[in-house]
Amino acid sequence: MSRRTSAMLPVPDGGRVRCEVYARKSSEEGLDAEFNSLDAQREAGEAFVASQRHEGWTLLPGRYDDGGYSGGSMDRLAFKRLLDDMASGKVDCVVICKVDRLSRSLLDFARLMDQFERQRVSFVAVTQQFNSATSMGRLVLNMLLSFAQFEREIIGERTQDKMAALRRKGKWVGGLTPLGYDRDPVNSKLVINPEEAERVRAMFRMCLDHGSLLPVVQELARRGWANKRTVTRRGTTRGGQAITRTSLRRLLTNVVYTGQIQYRDELHAGEHAAIIDAKTFREVQTQMLCHGATGGAEVRTPPKRCSRRCCGARDAEFLAPTHAPTSAIATDQSGQTRGRVSLRPQGGRVFGSQTVFVNWLRRGIPMTRRAWRLSRATAMS
């Protein structure tokens, strides 16, 4: 071990090597135990540093433990503090139990190695013997990280398959709890919150009465209603903000309120009770579709006339597509033709406001710069 560490570690002035032990656990299971995996990793690191005391190794009093964080991401609180201390020159060596405790991503690990070299900081794996100062040691290190990344991806695939199977059985697999429901702490099922459920029913009724989302949002703001507020296991508070058009649309299109669970394009009967009946839910979806509330999917395509005619009578002249003709025949008030006029000003692209301009030409208004400015102002108002 002494040959390996002497080749890896920089020797500061005075021969003192400042060490920190980093520990990580992927899941939160068992963290509340008196002696958990993080304690075991730290104990092994402290014993290793003590065995190298004759070479000037000193354990710093800091503690860097990440419980419940995956190795596939570097977004970890204690790990970020460790990187900051490394950048400020407070640490000479990072001691870990195994290489995968540092990272399970080969790309992230390569970046970490580059950062370690630039800051002249080394790391030591207690249970894995290799020397990163030699070509063979770096080969072994890359092989270990490749297997660690492979294991993480396999675990992710198994988790996805498990979540898909649970959804197909109608089980709630977690996430933000919808407004109107509470999560049963025993079996993780959704149970109806009577007060919130009545608010959800009122939102669906208001949507049908007003026919638009904006008046509903204004009414909800007047009443002081907000989104679902939940507290995670880590104590983080989520939700509780004012209801916006986006959050209201997400609520009105959530099939969970009909007693169903969605997995991709599949709908399965859920174990929880429904808050909204299927008829009301379909009526709201039809109304939102007719009013163009499609989440932006069809906004970039030419608008179509509603086949259900539930939006009321409209002037067919103003339902022309935004991809208006590139030219038009200009006529004066007497009906005489003034020639064909190009509708591609400056940039060459036909904008939606030019549809209004075409309608002005159809009504016999002369083609002038003032008419063009008025048409754009009309479209923007």
pLDDT at 335 > cutoff 90: no
Lowest mean pLDDT, pick from 79-93, 135-149, 185-199, 334-348: 334-348
Pairing of β 181-183 and β 190-192:
antiparallel
pLDDT at 314 > cutoff 60: no
What are the backbone angles phi and psi of residue 244, rounded to the nearest 5°?
A: -105, 180
Note if the pTM is more than 0.75.
no
The CA-atom distances, in angstroms, between 186 and each of 140, 182, 189, 190 are: 45, 12, 8, 11
Q: Among 178, 165, 163, 176, which residue's Cα sits nearest to residue 255?
A: 178
**Torsion (CA) 153, 130, 68, 262 in degrees, nearest 10:** 0
Domains of the chain from N-terminus onward: 2-148 (3.40.50.1390), 181-290 (3.90.1750.20), 316-380 (no CATH)
Q: What is the DSSP string of 315-334?
A: -GGGG--SS--SEEEEE-TT
How many other CB atoms are there within 10 angstroms of residue 102's CB atom? 24
Residue 244: per-residue pLDDT: 92
- Enumerate residues 6+ apart whose C-beta is below 8 A from 186: none
Rounded distance, CA 315 to CA 179, Å? Answer: 40
The neighbouring-strand residues paired with 64 are 22
- Residue 302 or residue 278, greater confidence: 278
Question: What's the CA angle centered on 165, arms 164 and 169, to 5 degrees?
Answer: 115
pLDDT at 333 > cutoff 60: no
- Residue 157 or residue 130, greater confidence: 157
pLDDT band at 156 (very low <50, low <70, confident <90, very high): confident
Residue 252: per-residue pLDDT: 92
Residue 324: per-residue pLDDT: 45
pLDDT at 355 > cutoff 50: no
Cβ(130)–Cβ(142) below 8 Å: no
Residue 351: per-residue pLDDT: 43
pLDDT at 365 > cutoff 70: no
The neighbouring-strand residues paired with 122 are 93
The letter for the amino acid at 56 is G
Instruction: Specify which of 121-130, 134-143, 159-168, 201-210 reaches the highest per-range mean pLDDT.
Output: 201-210
What are the backbone angles phi and psi of residue 337, rounded to the nearest 5°?
A: -75, 135
Residue 257: per-residue pLDDT: 93
Take residue 96 and report the two structure tokens written for it. 């870990």
Residue 296: per-residue pLDDT: 46
- Residue 150 or residue 207, greater confidence: 207
pLDDT band at 22 (very low <50, low <70, confident <90, very high): very high
Q: What is the DSSP string of 68-80?
A: S--TT----HHHH
Positive or negative CA dihedral for 127, 128, 133, 138? negative
pLDDT band at 187 (very low <50, low <70, confident <90, very high): confident
Lowest mean pLDDT, pick from 179-188, 240-249, 284-293: 284-293
Lowest mean pLDDT, pick from 146-160, 269-283, 336-350: 336-350
Cβ(274)–Cβ(258) below 8 Å: yes
Count of residues making up the chain: 381
Residue 328: per-residue pLDDT: 53
Instruction: Specify which of 21-35, 145-159, 241-255, 317-331 reaches the highest per-range mean pLDDT.
Output: 241-255
- Enumerate residues 6+ apart whose C-beta is below 8 A from 189: 171, 172, 183, 271, 272
Rounded distance, CA 128 to CA 48, Å? Answer: 12
Cβ(121)–Cβ(89) below 8 Å: no
pLDDT at 352 > cutoff 50: no
pLDDT tens-place string over residues 69-116: 888 888 899 999 999 999 898 998 899 988 888 887 777 877 888 888
DSSP for residue 297: T
Cβ(14)–Cβ(65) below 8 Å: no
pLDDT tens-place string over residues 249-297: 999 999 999 999 988 888 888 898 999 999 999 999 888 887 764 444 4
Residue 133: per-residue pLDDT: 57
The neighbouring-strand residues paired with 123 are 94
Residue 378: per-residue pLDDT: 46
Cα–chain center distance at 263: 18
- HSE-up (13 A, CA, CB side) for residue 76: 23
Rounded distance, CA 68 to CA 194, Å? Answer: 33
Pairing of β 93-96 and β 17-25:
parallel
